[in-house]
Each structure stands twice: as C-alpha cells, then as structure tokens.
Chains A and B, each alone.
Chain A
Amino acid sequence: MTHDLADPRRTKAANSSEGSDFVSIVIADQLFGIPVLQVQDVLGPQRITRVPLAPPEVAGSLNLRGRIVTAIDIRTRLGLPELADGKSRMSVVVDHGGELYSLMVDQVGEVLSLSPSAFERNPATLDPRWREVSAGIYRLDGSLLVVLDVARLLLLTSRAEAA
C-alpha cells in the first residue's frame, strides 16, 4: 500500500525540491531539512534492536506499528561524534523504495515553508561527506538549512557496506 503512495509523492517532492515544505531537524546544532512529502512519521525515543555485522550507520531495527523499520544514525553517517549519553533522541521515518527507514536525529523542529529565492547550491568547499547527502542549502534568518537527499543518504550506506 505504501508502494502506491510513495511514487507520486516522491516525484512531486523531486519537482518541487527547490521551494517547498521541509521538516526541520537538528543534528549537532546544525539545521537540516527533509522534504515533508517524504516523511512518514516522527518518532520519539524507540526501543531499537541492534543488528550485528551491519554497517556502522545502521543503528538497528525497530517496530513501527507492525512494520520493521531500519534505523539509520545520521550522526555516524555524517562522521559526527555520538550524542552524549542519556539524551533522548528523535527519529524521522522516511520511505525509500517501498522500505521504511528511521533517521535518528537530535531534535525535530517544525515544518518550514521556504521560498525558492533562498535556495543555493552546495558550496564547493563543503566537506565531501556532507556534500554527498546535501541537495542544497537554504538561507534562513540567522541560520542555514541543509536539504538532506534521502535517496543518497541511504544509497551510500549500502555502498559503504559493500566496500
């Protein structure tokens, strides 16, 4: 059923990626955005089952209303240190190719409507690890928002695993 919904959504998100609504998230004090149409769910802290031998980015699997969702630790993915212990973490569940992935982030903020005029491409000097997963930057008042390219974020996980 998710298959049926996912495709039109993704196309739509792709078409309007330069001027659209984003779910804002915070990782290590940096603001990121995920196109709102790709987001299925926002979760509080979850019980996660570790998956031995999995790539380091894979935090484990969790049960989302009967569906098994793979949790990806964005901090590890971006090469950031682990969050200090004890702090609760939130997750954004996205659909990719019919599979659900739960992206673990520090905080989830509100949905932002951003105008295309504030969009910029990635600066050439951006850390390659970030450039891989960034679809561009929005200039906001007082901060910058990095648009996460979910497909590449997940694709590279599997490539890293193969290597």
Chain B
Amino acid sequence: MDDLLSEFLTETTENLSVLDLELVKLEQNPDDPALLGNIFRLVHTIKGTCGFLGLPRLESVAHAAENVLGKIRDGELGVSAQAISLILESLDRVKTIMAALEATETEPAGDDADLIGRLNDLAAGRAAAPASAAPPAAAAPSEAAAAPAADIAAAAPAAESIESELPNEESEEAPAGAARPSEAGKEPSVAGQTIRVNVDLLENLMTMVSELVLTRNQLMQILRSQKDSEFTAPLQRLSHVTTELQEGVMKTRMQPIGNAWAKLPRLVRDLALELGKKLDLRMLGAETELDRQVLEMIKDPLTHMVRNSADHGIETPAERLKAGKPEQGTITLNAYHEGGHIVIEISDDGRGLALDKIRKKALSAGLATEAELAAMTDQQIQQFIFRAGFSTASQVTSVSGRGVGMDVVRTNIEKIGGTIELKSVAGKGSSFIIKIPLTLAIVSALIVECAGERFAIPQISVVELVRAAENSENRIERLHDTPVLRLRNRLLPLVSLQDLLRLGAPREASSETFIVVAQVGTYSFGIIVDRVFDTEEIVVKPVAPILRDITMFSGNTILGDGSVIMILDPNGIAAASGEKTVEEGGVREQVAARAEKGGEKTSLLLFRAGGEGPKAVPLALVARLEEVELQKIEESNGKPVVQYRGKLMPLVTIDPGYRLGKEGRQPVLVFADGERNMGLVVDEILDIVEEQLTVELAAERQGYIGSAIVAGKATDVIDAGYFLTLAFEDWFSPEAEAEDGGKRVLVVDDSPFFRNLLAPLLSVAGYRVTTVESADRALGLCEAGEDFDVIISDIEMPGMNGFQFAETVRGSTRWQNTPIVALSSHTTPKDLHRGREAGFADYVAKFDRDALLNTLSETLSLQKGAA
C-alpha cells in the first residue's frame, strides 16, 4: 500500500475516534469553545488531507460537516442533539468509505448527496429531514486499537512522532486486502498494526541499549581473560540477546531512504516543465534503510542536489541532441549499503561542471588568485562549488542559483559524520557520492596509539593503513620538517598525531610507525601513529562542555576494557594540518579561511636573514625564489653580482655588514622589474603564510616597514623598496622616470602598510608615486595644483570613503577627467557596479599585483585614446 495512504488511514482513524469522544462531550458542554475549536480543527484536517490525496467523496462529506461546525463555532447555530447526530453520522460515513479505501486502495463508488444535502440544510438553518439510517460503522475494530495512541497523536504534531511499522506489514497487507475486499473489516487493519511512539522514547531506548552494549563489551573482555568460567554460557547468551536487542531497537529507528525521495519525482516533473527540459528520474535502492535522524538530515541536501542536477547539470533538449545524447536527460539516485555505511549517489548525464565558469567565479569572488587557480588541478577547482556563496548559474532562476547551496549540503553531511565526493567529466555528467554512517549512535572505529595514549578514528574516514619503516619501501621522507609519504606514485602529506596533539615526550626513534590514510572530501592525508589495534564498535558520547572547543575530537567513548578514549575528528585534523602544509588541501583551507573571515589577508613569505627572528615580505613583491651557488658570485663595481638568466643580477644582503660565504648554496629572493632583477640574499626560507596583517610602524631602521605578528611570532616586515634602491641607485630616481615619461600616480589608502607596499611596487613598474593617507589630503593636493595621470583609491577609509571621494572628484574638481581606479578587498559584482556609478574607471582586488599593473596601463592607454 502506498505509504502516504497508509499514513493517512492511521492518522484519520485516530482523529475520528478522538472526534467521537469530543462530540459527545460537546453535546454535554455545548458552550466550551476550546472543545469546539478542537473538533473543528480535526474535521478540517481530515478534509484537507482528503483533498490533498485526491479523495473527493471523503472530502465533500468532511467539507459539509465542517461547514456545520463552522456555523456552530460562529454562534449561528446552536448545539443540538440533532446537529451532533448529523455530524456523527457523517463521521460514520467517513469511516465506511475509509474501510473500503483500506481494502481496495480506492474510494468506493457511492452517493453522499443525501447526507450532504441534510448537512447543508442544517448549516443554512433549514429544518432537516429526519436522519436516515446511517450505514454501519465498519471500521469499528480499528477504533479500539487506535484509541490508546490517539491522545499522543493529538497532542504531538505529526512531525514529532514517527510510525514504527511492524515488519512486512506493507508488503503483505496490501495484497491480502486486495484479494479479499469483503473480509477487510475482519482483518486487523493497518491502523491497528501500527502505533505511534514518541521519538524521545525511541531515543531513550537507543541510549539505554548503547549503554548495554558497552557493558556487554566490558563483560566479554573480562571473560576473555578467564578460562573455564562458569559465566561463559550465560554471558554468551547475554551477548546474543544484547546484539539482537540492539538490532531491534535500531530497526525501530530505521526508515527506507525512499521516504526522503518521495517528493522528488514530482519536483523533477515540475522542473522539467519549468525549464523546458526532458528529465527522467531513476531511483535505485529506495528500500535501503537508514536511521531516521540521519534521514532527516540528508533530506534537504538531497532535494537540493537533484534540483541542481536538473537546473545546472542537464542541458536543454536541443543542446543534448547537438552533443549526440538522447533528448531526455537522466538523473539517477542510487543508495546501497557498504560496510556499515550508506552510500548515496546522485548522478546526471548532463554537461558536467563548467570549470571555466568556476574559475572565473572564484576569481571574481576573491576566493583565489589567478596564480593559485593556475596551480590547481581540475578536481581542486571543482571543489569550489562547496564554498559559501558560490553559484555558477549566471542567472538567478526560481529553481536554483541563489548562491546558497552546495556549501550547506556539505556542512549538513559533515555534521553527521559523512563525506561527500564529486566526480565530474565535461560533457558526460557529474556525480556526487555521499557516504554516511548507518546510525549516529554506534560507529565502528579504529583504535590507534600514539605516545602511549589511545585514540579512536571513525572507520568511515579511514581509507587504508600503511606500515612505514626505515628499511621498507614505505618510508617517511621529510620536506623541510614536513613529513610526506610516497604512496603509489603520489605524495601523501602526513600529520604527526604526536605533534598535532602536543603529546610531548619525543618518542625514541622507533623503527616502525603506522600511517592511517584518511580522507576528508577529496583531501587525503596520513596520520602518523605508533601502533594500530583493532576496530571496535563504539558509542559516541559528546565531550564535556569545557572541552568542546578542541576541534580535534568529535566525542569520546568507553572501550571494552573500561577506559575512556577520545574520538579523533578527521575534519578537525585536516583543517589544522591544512594550515601547516601548503598542499592541495592547504591551499583550499587557507582560501576558505580568507573567504570566511572576509578580512584583508596578505600572503607573506617568511624567511630568516641577518639575525634569528623571522622576517617577512609580501609575496606579491617577490618574483621568484632561487638558490645561487656562492662560488659563482662575482664582483662588479665593488658589489656582489651573479649571472642570472644571461644578465648580471646584483645581490643585496639585509645586514650591510654581512659577508657572503665562499662555498655552498644560498637562497635568494628575486625581485624583478621587466629587464632588471635584484636578489636579496637570505639565510633560510621558512614558510609562506596567509595572515591578516597589522603592521606596527616602528621603522626608524632603514629597510624595515615595521613589525607584525605573523604565525604567532613577532616578525620584521622588510621594505622591499629600500633594498631595490640599494641594488640600483637609479631605480626610483627621476632620470629613470623621465626616460619612460613616468606617469604620475596618486595612491590614497589609509593603511600605512599598503601605502608602503604599493609605492615600491608601482615605482618598480615605472610610475612616479605620491601617497596620501586620506581622501581629504588627496583633495588638498588637488587644490594645491598638483596633477596626476591616474589615481588609485582604497574604498574603506575613515572619514570620506572611496565612493564619496570618487564622486567628489568626478563632480567638480580639476581632476574630473583623471581616471580613478578602486582598490578593494571586496570585489563582488555589486561593489563593481557601485564603483562604476561612483565614477571609478576600474576595480582591482587589493592583493593582485598583476591585475593592478594591467589595469593601470589599460586605464592610461584608454585615457590617451580618449584625449
């Protein structure tokens, strides 16, 4: 029998028996408005549901009865024995129809005109004809069964309770009923076989069973250490019963995934009409069962993804024919069990993800720079769709493309300990693979040991185990302190659990370690542990509130031996390690961090030179990192130079007194300007970090902009411009500018750091630069008669902001024809639009050196063309 129908029958039977009682009460207390309200509501619900299910006979009867009750409620009709009898009679009619409905799954033929006519007469205030004999109440047996549960159902809205149906009820009841319609009344009805149970009760049962499982595990552990115990047999039996009980209780919470899919065919049909596409939805494995809690959590994500496939994935029929595909696009949902997990695949045979669009969108949303994008694999680029606010639909349709989407899907799935993977082939289609645990309460976990402590890692994230030893083929190698492992021709980033959790006590160099290869999304990494034990079924318990901030743990549990153990959260570990390793996942995490905080972040190159403390330079200024052989250093004009790409490159040291060695190699930061290169000799390159920079200006020392806290350490930020002048005295000199005709640039930015960053950058590019810290100062220069070829202005500034500044300049100053370029960390299309309106010629992201230079030269050449 159709799920919806059997649910309706259960619910309505309950409502009807409540109504019987309430109506009798109403007859005794005709003036109780609450009672009347309740009756009205119940009848209204029945009517509404009938209409929804397309049951016209039931609906019309219920409607007529509702009319009468409405009149009574409004005080137009008095509560009379006659009215109550008539309503009860109509309820009996409803029951009769329902009994037939239950047997045949269709409304029986019949005419209710007489009953409806009398109800309408009553509603209209006409004296009703004497009641004709009502048909017998065929559904009576079901009433009794449903009655105990009725009050729960009435009190709790439908969403609060679930139906726990007896096994096989659906498959056997329907054919039996269909075969013997005449006997339907005698058979235990659907309504009688199902009871409604409060979800809380089931949750409680589950908790108790979980505890029982733990205790059982403990007992079994004790038993194992004792030989020939008289407890062996009873404990074995206890163990069996516990397992069966656990399965039984888990079953009460299980629902077929088809329940979450029920609305999809309709959705797809409507979408097909709306979008003018031909869509076919195939659903495989709808009977696969999973925990209702999990089911609830994935319902919305699934709907969203099917919607996405229909809207973005599948092409229009014309496009499909052109691509040599059948006109009709297919969306396939497939669910199946796989080792304690449920796998759900949502795939379509559409056009696949448009990488170009994603790249563009990532760039314009400031999620990644062009350089970062260029270095990414296709798979990494596809991952952008899981980012907040990311939608490639160029048009906002009613279907999707509102920019909320896959990020929410991913968050929801990760919340329940699941993973989501994406595979997409251009022109062939995309498929999403969701892997979720069968139940949230009991999970299978791998027990590992590190520095004498044991931890559990959920099995769902574990891909494989690798034994690593010095002399075996799997050997841990190091890239400047970062451990990596060669695994089947791929470099796997490794995380040392010992370092990550600060377990201290550097373990004596043991000859072998184990690597747990874990996967979070598409990011694979290895967790280095000392030992690996068994897998164990564990009951996840939340950690104490004062420990909840530690993102490395998703919970804790008690093992069979009675000890408490922390459960590691692979997502947390990936996030923490991603910041350390600038690996595929690392880039993503950093980019994500930037997107989330929305603050101004700068990529900084950290190095050591002339002193112990770390030093930093904005990465945007550095052209390349090189290593020079000290033997090859020559001298020219009393200064060290090295042959580099067929030219002489001057070398500069941070500390003027620093003597270069004679042998070995030394890392060099290369700053480039067209033809010219300059090398800054450093001792060691430490790292590249992305940080929100707050520079404290303290630069009495030449060559330093100031100091900042980078990666938790006080770091000197060097002034690249100063070292450029050391290498080429004429680098910024007026002669050089005169040669290129040196365009004059005015930089308006309130941040001293950016002024100091931009000035050398632009100077290097051949501009004459003037910097001011506010719009007011810039306008002052205008009044003072200064002229510039182009103005670069920040948007967010104290006092007059960039937009106001641009409007003022455009309005009525001498500079009204000078192009203004906006410089901002926010480059959403909305900002761009607003910038254009305010009079900006162009809009550039703050950290994109190349884009800024390109924009400047374009703007200036446009200006020339116009002049």
Contacts and interface: CB of A to CB of B under 8 A. Distances in A.
Interface of A: 47-55, 58, 60-63, 66, 68, 70, 97, 99, 101, 154, 157-158, 161-162
Contacts of A161: 546, 549
Contact of A49 (B453, B503, B544, B550): B453
Interface of B: 211, 214-215, 453-454, 501-503, 541, 544-547, 549-550, 552-553, 556-558, 562-566
15 contacts: A49-B453, A51-B553, A54-B547, A55-B546, A60-B564, A61-B566, A63-B558, A63-B562, A63-B563, A63-B564, A66-B211, A68-B556, A68-B557, A68-B564, A161-B546
Residue from B503, B546, B547 with most neighbouring chain A CB atoms (10 Å)? B546
CB-based closest 5 A-B pairs: A52-B501, A70-B544, A61-B564, A49-B564, A158-B546
Contacts of B503: 52
Contact of A53 (B552, B556, B562, B564): B552
- Is chain A's interface secondary structure helix, strand, loop, or mixed overall? mixed
Residue from B547, B564, B566 with most neighbouring chain A CB atoms (10 Å)? B564
Contacts of B501: 52-53
Contacts of B549: 161-162
Given A49-B565, A60-B564, A97-B545, 20 more contacts: A47-B563, A48-B564, A51-B550, A52-B501, A52-B502, A52-B550, A53-B502, A53-B550, A54-B546, A58-B546, A63-B562, A66-B211, A68-B541, A68-B557, A70-B544, A70-B546, A157-B546, A158-B545, A161-B546, A161-B549
Nearest to A57: B546
Contacts of A66: 211, 214-215, 558
Nearest to B455: A52
- Is chain B's interface secondary structure helix, strand, loop, or mixed overall? mixed
B570 to A, nearest CB: 16
Residue from A51, A58, A161 with most neighbouring chain B CB atoms (10 Å)? A51
A47 B549 CA distance: 24
Contacts of A47: 563
Contacts of B544: 61, 68, 70, 99, 101
A154 B502 contact: no
Nearest to B504: A52
B563 A52 contact: no
Contact of A62 (B214, B502, B545, B564): B564
A57 to B, nearest CB: 9
B547 A58 contact: yes
Given A66-B211, A68-B541, A49 B566 contact: yes
Nearest to B553: A51
Contacts of A52: 453, 501-503, 550, 552, 566
A66 to B, nearest CB: 6
Nearest to B539: A66
Nearest to A99: B544
Given A52-B502, A53-B502, A61-B564, A68 B547 contact: no
A101 B503 CA distance: 23
Contacts of A55: 546
Contacts of B553: 51
B563 A49 contact: yes
Contacts of A58: 546-547
Contacts of B564: 48-49, 60-63, 68
Nearest to A97: B545
Contact of A70 (B211, B453, B547, B558): B547
